[in-house]
Structure 1
Amino acid sequence: MLRNKTTLVLVLAISLVVGIFSFGFAAEKQFVAIATGGTGGTYYPLGGALAQMLSNNVEGLIVTAMTSNASIENCNLIGRGQIETAFSQANTTYWCYTATGMLKDTQPITNLRGIASLYPETIHIVATKASGIKTIEDLKGKRVGVGAPNSGTAADAEIILKAHGLTFDDVKVEYIDFNEVAQRLIDGQIDAGFTTAGYPTSSIIDIATKRDMVLVPISEEKIKELVAEIPYYGATVIPAGFYKGVDEPVPALATPALWICDAKLSPTVVYKMTKALWEHRDILAKVHSQGKNITLATALNGMGVPLHLGAELYYKEIGLIK
């Protein structure tokens, strides 16, 4: 009888220990965040959809998306170890990593790593018809929203103005995000604004439905100059009909949107996230029209920082790189 009781106690003790360890393993979760951008751009809806898709398809991973001032701030967040992953323009990511270009007076952020190139981001220059603005040169002396502080959009605005012989001192600069640009254009508080995002973007749709607006073109000559001068810029066209009142194609500049991360992030986690992205990218196409442009054929376009080891492993596994 004593032996049976002893056996029972041992069985119960072993079961309890196994249960504790099993529960611990089952409860262990990896939390990862994606810094996106303002709610009026493309980063935010795609980032939210990506976070949900990863959480649903990578066991043990909980991913959340957060708003931010976008590209440059996102790189700085990774540099300070305050966020694991982020979206960022290819050009500003390269400048942050190398401390060159618009960021030549900063410290390089050497822990930036690439996961994937997602889709082309187009620089929209929006003006109200009432402002009379038809060219970049017409922005002189006008009230212009140039993007949030430390955003890629603000860097794009400065570059484009400089290419046309203007500086921020020549315009009345407002450092405001996409939603604020839209609201102030609608309210007549600014004359024009820059928005770098995949088209169509919700903030510009909002403007077009409430005010007569124009998209200011960049001349083909200036586009050629900027593409030749600055890596990661490319020529594009905003098609007619994407925004109310825009009935002709508008020549513009674009730069790839990258999904980047901290070099210290686990290679296993990054491998699983990269794999999930490409196996379930159809989910992103349902959220935004730019989702259909997220393809393996362009997965490394504009990748001016080293790939994370986990992403590199996946791309080697599928034969995209050797």
Structure 2
Amino acid sequence: MKMLKKISWLVILFSLVFVSSAQAAKVISVGTAPAGGTWYAIGGALADIITKHVEGVNATAEVTGAAVANVKLLGTKEIQIGLTINAIAKQGYEGRRPFKQKYTNIRSMISSFQKGYLQIFTLAGSDLVYVSELKGKRVAVGPAGHGSLIRLKEIFKTMGFSFDDIKPVYLPYGQSLRVLGDRKVDAAVLYMAPPVPAVKQFSVTNKVKLLRLKEENRKAILAKYPHYVPEVVPKFSYEGQDQSIPTVATANVILVDQDLEEQLVYNIVKAVFENIDKLRASHPSMKKFSLDMATIGSLVPFHPGAVKYYKEQGVWTGK
């Protein structure tokens, strides 16, 4: 009888330890983008690193509407980490369009981790050659609320027409390509780093081509909007693309909620850079990602936990 009582107490004790451990695990949601996009792959790798290498934390990559949606979700604390565009982060922090309120709790964790590229695809047999020829055309512009909509409006403005001069179709990336293949739209916009996984898959059965920016249009974009930088889509990014295509790009940032504990954010950033090869392997655009890039160009304040790590590593610029 004494032995049975002892065993019973041991069972209860281990049960309490197990329950206590389970309750202690912190759940973190990482806002990414629609499935098939670049950020979905990168965010998945980030969540995996956090879960495996930050003690007491379970992170999951969430499918979201991407840049604008992630700022809103972070601002309302529905996610704790989110991928977005630097310029969009600043607009959210300051409460400027497309946002209707200020989200002052957003903080930079890793800045300039990657760039989003203007990429507009059409079928190989299309008469369209340049982005400036999209006026009056049916264009799959991505999901409603996506940051690329703001970028497109800026870009079109430099070409002498507005967003109202196209026939926009709002769809996730995979569906955008599907309707392009069905010829229900004339072009599809995928504002992200090349190569786009969904396009790689689509181009196996459908020949596509990238629309080009006329050089005068490219120069006008760079002159009018300082948050753009000149870039090229490398040749062979897609099936049949035998030339590099000049385009423009914007820097992307990984944001975090300011209310996450300083030590937790420090541990997350530390885990990321101690396992940087996993993040680099998540997408070809991440191959050159390095610690030196992590503090460059943020347009919102950094989280103290991130600052602590960067200072330890000697890369903090104080900006």
Do both share a fold (TM > 0.5)? yes
Deviates most, 74-83 or 224-233: 224-233
Amino acid at match of 1:222: N
The 5-angstrom pairing of residues 6-17 of structure 1 reads: none
2:107 matches 1:113: yes
Per-residue displacement from partner, 1:34-86 (whole Å, max 9, x unpaired)?
Answer: 01001121011111111112111111110000101100011011111111111
One-letter amino acid of the structure 1 residue matched with residue 151 of structure 2? D
- 1:131-167 Cα deviation digits (max 9, x unpaired): 3111122111111011111111122222211211121
1:18 CA drift (Å): 7.9
1:221 deviates by 2.9
Q: Secondary structure at the match of 1:180?
A: helix
For residues 231-266 of structure 1, what are the alpha-carbon distances to aligned partners after superposition, in whole Å with 9 as ceiling and x for unaligned? Answer: 431110001111112111111111122110111122
| Residue 154 (structure 2) pairs with residue 159 (structure 1) | yes
1:18-33 pair list within 5 angstroms: 22-23=17-18, 25-27=20-22, 28-33=24-29
Is 2:281 aligned against 1:286? yes
Pairwise mapping of residues 79-158 of structure 1 onto structure 2 (< 5 A)? 79-100=75-96, 102-103=97-98, 106-117=100-111, 118-158=113-153
Segments ≥4 residues shifted beyond 4 Å: 14-25
Of 236-245 and 19-28, deviating more is 19-28
The residue type equivalent to 1:264 in the other structure is D
- Between the aligned partners of 1:21 and 1:318, the Cα distance in structure 2 is 40
Q: Contact 2:156–2:162 at 8 Å: present in 1 too?
A: yes
The structure that is helix-richer by fraction is 1
Q: Distance in 1 between matches of 2:11 and 2:121?
A: 65
Matches of residues 58-77 of structure 1 in structure 2 within 5 Å?
Answer: 58-77=54-73
Aligned alpha-carbon RMSD (Å):
2.4
Per the alignment, residue 46 of structure 2 pairs with 50
Matching of residues 249-268 of structure 1 within 5 Å: 249-268=244-263
Contact 2:132 2:213 in 1 (8 A): no
Gaps of 5+ in 1: 6-10
Tell me how far apart the structure 2 counterparts of residues 82 and 26 of structure 1 sit (CA, whole Å): 24
The CA distance in 2 between the partners of 1:227 and 1:116, in whole Å, is 24
What CA deviation, in whole Å up to 9, does each residue of 1:91-128 have, x standing for no partner? Answer: 2112221234x53x732221110110211221111112
Instruction: Indicate conservation of the 8 Å contact 1:91/1:233, yes or no.
Output: no
User: C-alpha deviations, 1:173-213, integer Å up to 9, x for none?
Assistant: 11112111111111111110111111111122133222232
- Identical residues among aligned pairs (%): 30
* Per-residue deviation, 1:301: 2.7
Asked if 1 retains the 8 angstrom alpha-carbon contact of 2:295 and 2:315, the reply is no
- TM-score calculated relative to the size of structure 2: 0.90
Structure 1 position 225, deviation (Å): 2.8
- Aligned with 2:281: secondary structure? helix
Which residue of 172, 195, 198 corresponds with 2:193?
Answer: 198
Q: Structure 2 CA distance, aligned partners of 1:167 and 1:224? A: 18
The answer to which of 150-159 and 303-312 deviates more is: 150-159
Q: Distance in 1 between matches of 2:117 and 2:247?
A: 7
Alpha-carbon distance between aligned partners in 2 of 1:39 and 1:16, rounded to the nearest angstrom: 43
Work out whether 1:187 is the aligned partner of 2:182. yes
- Aligned partners of 1:276 and 1:123: how far apart in 2? 31
Trace 1:276-315 onto structure 2 (pairs within 5 A): 276-315=271-310
Evaluate the alpha carbon distance shift between residue 20 and residue 203 of structure 1 in structure 2; reply closer, same or farther with a 3 A threshold.
Answer: closer
* Paired residues of 1:256 and 1:301 also in contact (CA < 8 A): no
Q: Which whole-Å CA distance do the structure 2 matches of 1:235 and 1:64 have between them?
A: 34
* Aligned-partner residue type, residue 46 of structure 1: I
- Name the CA distance, whole Å, in 2 between partners of 1:60 and 1:78: 21
Q: Take 2:139 and 2:182, find their aligned partners in 1: how far apart are those partners?
A: 14
So what's the TM-score if we normalise by structure 1?
A: 0.89
